Amino acid sequence: VADTIALGAVVSVAACRGPIIPYSAGQVDATVPGPATVPEPQQPLASHIESFRQHGFNQTEMIALVACGHTFGGVRQADFPLIVTDNTIDVDTFDTTPAFDNTIVSQYLQSTTQNVLVVGPNVTTQSDLWIFSSDENVTMQNLLSPDTFATTCTDLIQRMVNTVPNGVNLTDPIAEPFDYVVSEPFFSYQDSALFMTTSLQVLTPNESSTITMLWADREGSCCPFTGCSVPSSSSREVFFSPLAQLLAPGLTPEIYFFNATINATCSISDFWFEINVNIGSEPLVVDNGGGGFVIEQTSLFVDVLRSEGILLPTFSEVLKVVVAVRGDAASTSASMTVFDPRSTASAPPFTPIITTTVLQLDDSNPLEGGFTFFTANLSAPVTFLDLTANSGGVTYTQENFDFGSVVVTSD
The pLDDT confidence band at residue 35, using thresholds 50, 70 and 90, is confident
pLDDT at 30: 84
Collect contacts of 145-149 with beta carbons under 8 A, ≥24 apart.
145/102, 146/101, 146/102, 149/67, 149/68, 149/101, 149/102, 149/105
The pLDDT confidence band at residue 402, using thresholds 50, 70 and 90, is confident
pLDDT at 247: 65
Peptide bond into 349 cis (omega under 30): yes
Q: For residue 194, what are the β-bridge partners?
A: 189, 262
Strands 308-311 and 409-410: parallel
Contact 235, 199 (CB under 8 A): no
> pLDDT digit string (tens) for 9-18?
998 898 888 9
The rounded distance, in Å, linking the Cα atoms of 255 and 247 is 18
The rounded distance, in Å, linking the Cα atoms of 170 and 24 is 6
Query: Do 83 and 145 belong to one domain?
Result: yes
CATH number for the domain that contains residue 347: 2.60.40
Residue 386 or residue 251, greater confidence? 386
Query: Do 263 and 311 belong to one domain?
Result: no
- Mean pLDDT for 27-56 is 89
pLDDT at 342: 75
The pLDDT confidence band at residue 382, using thresholds 50, 70 and 90, is confident
Query: Do 316 and 281 belong to one domain?
Result: no
Domain boundary among 274, 294, 314: 294
In the chain, the number of structural domains is: 3
Q: Does residue 167 sit within a domain?
A: no
Q: Does residue 63 sit within a domain?
A: yes
**Which residues in 299-370 belong to E strands, given as ranges?**
300-302, 308-311, 317-326, 332-340, 353-358, 360-361
Contact 397, 334 (CB under 8 A): no
CA-based radius of gyration for the chain: 27
pTM over 0.75: no
Q: For residue 112, what are the β-bridge partners?
A: none
> pLDDT digit string (tens) for 293-341?
999 999 999 999 999 888 778 877 888 999 999 999 999 999 999 887 7
Contact 216, 292 (CB under 8 A): yes
Query: Do 206 and 115 belong to one domain?
Result: no
- Mean pLDDT for 224-234 is 95
Q: Does residue 174 sit within a domain?
A: no
Mean of all residue pLDDT scores within the chain: 91
The pLDDT confidence band at residue 347, using thresholds 50, 70 and 90, is confident
pLDDT at 406: 72
Q: Does residue 39 sit within a domain?
A: yes
- Mean pLDDT for 369-375 is 96
Query: Do 139 and 213 belong to one domain?
Result: no
> pLDDT digit string (tens) for 185-217?
999 999 999 999 999 999 999 988 999 999 999
Residue 52 or residue 404, greater confidence? 52
Query: Do 68 and 105 belong to one domain?
Result: yes
> pLDDT digit string (tens) for 64-91?
999 999 999 999 999 999 999 999 999 9
- Mean pLDDT for 384-411 is 84
* Out of 148-152, 229-233, 243-247, least confident range: 243-247
Percent of the chain with pLDDT over 90: 71
Collect contacts of 365-369 with beta carbons under 8 A, ≥24 apart.
365/303, 365/306, 365/322, 367/328, 367/329, 368/189, 369/189, 369/192, 369/264
The rounded distance, in Å, linking the Cα atoms of 104 and 114 is 9
The pLDDT confidence band at residue 159, using thresholds 50, 70 and 90, is very high
CATH number for the domain that contains residue 223: 2.60.40.2440
> pLDDT digit string (tens) for 85-130?
999 999 999 999 999 999 999 999 999 999 999 999 999 999 999 9
Domain boundary among 246, 274, 294: 294
| For residue 410, pLDDT beyond 60 | no
Host domain of residue 246 = 180-294
Query: Do 381 and 250 belong to one domain?
Result: no
The rounded distance, in Å, linking the Cα atoms of 14 and 331 is 53
